[in-house]
Structure 1
């Protein structure tokens, strides 16, 4: 036991190490001490006058190892968040880094992420509306990716998938909705494209209303205009739309249809190749 105890105070010396004028062992590489003296009262307690200490190069290596471990843990956490948060792996590519610069509203997405704590505290949601292919989903995906890369959980899904999940687990639907509402940010993509059955509308309202009562932000993308939302066709839709309008500030997307532009560019490249 005594030998084991003494090993704690033994300093590993390298061939290039040397003893300084103060009697301590110094690192031959960085020229800083690998030992330090105990205070007088501690020396009497341990029966030794010195203990091992980190020299500068040892400290640098330790900090490098710790930083690498932190990076690894961070990447693992982000990977897990994106696996759980996205319903389609393609959404991982919807990032600020991959933005083509053609969406004039993208600055708002940057601001939303930069001011996330204020957005969360004030329960500020967004209603992204406009024609098909104008960049609404990409805008929302950029926010989701950026927040998840800060280790903030986000769920991006759509009501077609939500309704399928609820139908498959009828008995646990309240727990399912509760899980959705625990995410700091919930993003519902392509709102209004799901089937408008009585059951479907009731479940859509349950999700929207539960999110409303959770006090957490909601981002919704839709092809519906604010006028359509303010003038619902029936009471079932009115209940849903009232909640959305109260929770989410509208942002209009008026850019050209990026999907059509991409399809045309791809067709032009193919024609060029086939000449």
Structure 2
């Protein structure tokens, strides 16, 4: 037992010299590169405990190597965390490319999306979401995806989905509706894409209400994208839609997405390229 303890003390207090290291005038081992000590003397009371008069110390070279190693480990841990968040948070892998860095700069509402991320702590504390509404192809989903990616890069969990997938999941769920909806509400930010495009059956509307109402009660932010007009949201056709839309508008201040149809523009660009290739 004593031998094992002595061996452990030897390992903790011994310093292994490199070829270029040398012993200084004070009797300590010095680094041959940075010329800083690799050893330090114990205080007299500590020396009596360990049976040695010195212990290892970091020279500048060792400190720099350790800090670089720790920084690399921290970067890798961050990348692994973000990768896991995006794998869990997006229902479509293509959404990973919906970032501010990939934005073409033509969407006038992009600055608002950037500011939302910049002020996320205040938005979260105040339970402030956002409703991106406008015509088809105006970049609503893309802006929501930019927000999701930017927050995930900050290691904030986000889940981006749509009610078509939610209703399918609920129909096939073995864990029960309440547990599934509770899981949605645990995310700091929930993004519902293409709101209003789901089936208008009585069952479908009831499930939509339960999700929206549960999120409302969780007091956590919600971002919604929709092709519905603000007038349609403010003046629903019946009570079933009214109780859903009222909660959405209370949680999500509306932002109108205007401008050209980005999908049409992309299709025209591809058509132009095809004509060019065929003419060649």
The interval holding the TM-score normalised by the smaller chain is over 0.9
Aligned-residue offset at 1:5? 2.4
- What's 2:37 paired with? 33
Task: Give CA deviations for 1:136-183 in whole Å, capped at 9, x if unaligned.
Answer: 000000000000011100000000000000011266110000000000
Matches of 1:243 and 1:30, distance apart in 2: 65
- For 2:131, what is the secondary structure of its paired residue? strand
Deviations 1:192-236 (A, max 9, x none): 111100000000000000000000000000011111011111110
1:31-110 → structure 2 map (5 Å cutoff): 31-110=35-114
- Which residue of 261, 264, 267 corresponds with 1:263? 267
The one of 223, 241, 244 aligned to 2:227: 223
Map Cα deviations across residues 22-42 of structure 1 (whole Å, 9 max, x no partner): 221100011111001111211
The one of 110, 124, 130 equivalent to 2:128 is: 124
Deviation digits for residues 6-64 of structure 1 (CA, Å, limit 9, x no counterpart): 23211100111011122211000111110011112111221211101111111111111
Give aligned pairs, total. Answer: 275
Map residues 1-275 of structure 1 onto 2, 5 A cutoff.
1=3, 2-169=6-173, 172-275=176-279
Aligned in 2, Cα 1:33/1:151: closer, same or farther, shift over 3 Å? same
**RMSD, aligned α-carbons:** 1.0
In 2, the alpha carbon distance for the partners of 1:52 and 1:38 equals: 10
C-alpha distance in 2 between matches for 1:57 and 1:93: 40
- Aligned partners of 1:179 and 1:75: how far apart in 2? 24
Secondary structure class of the residue paired with 1:8: helix
Partner Cα distance (1:100, 1:128) in 2: 18
Q: 1:259 to 1:42 in 2, by over 3 A?
A: same
- Further displaced range: 132-141 or 55-64: 55-64
Q: Which runs of 4+ in 1 moved over 3 A?
A: none
Contact map agreement 2:181 2:211 (CA 8 A) in 1: yes
How many angstroms apart in 2 are the aligned matches of 1:184 and 1:199? 27
Deviations 1:102-153 (A, max 9, x none): 0011011111111110000001110100000001000000000000011100
The TM-score with structure 2 as length reference comes to: 0.96
**Contact 2:9–2:50 under 8 Å retained in 1:** no
TM-score by length of 1: 0.98
3-state DSSP of counterpart to 2:99: coil
> Structure 2 regions of 5+ residues with no counterpart?
none
Could you tell me whether the CA contact under 8 Å between 2:134 and 2:226 is conserved in 1? yes
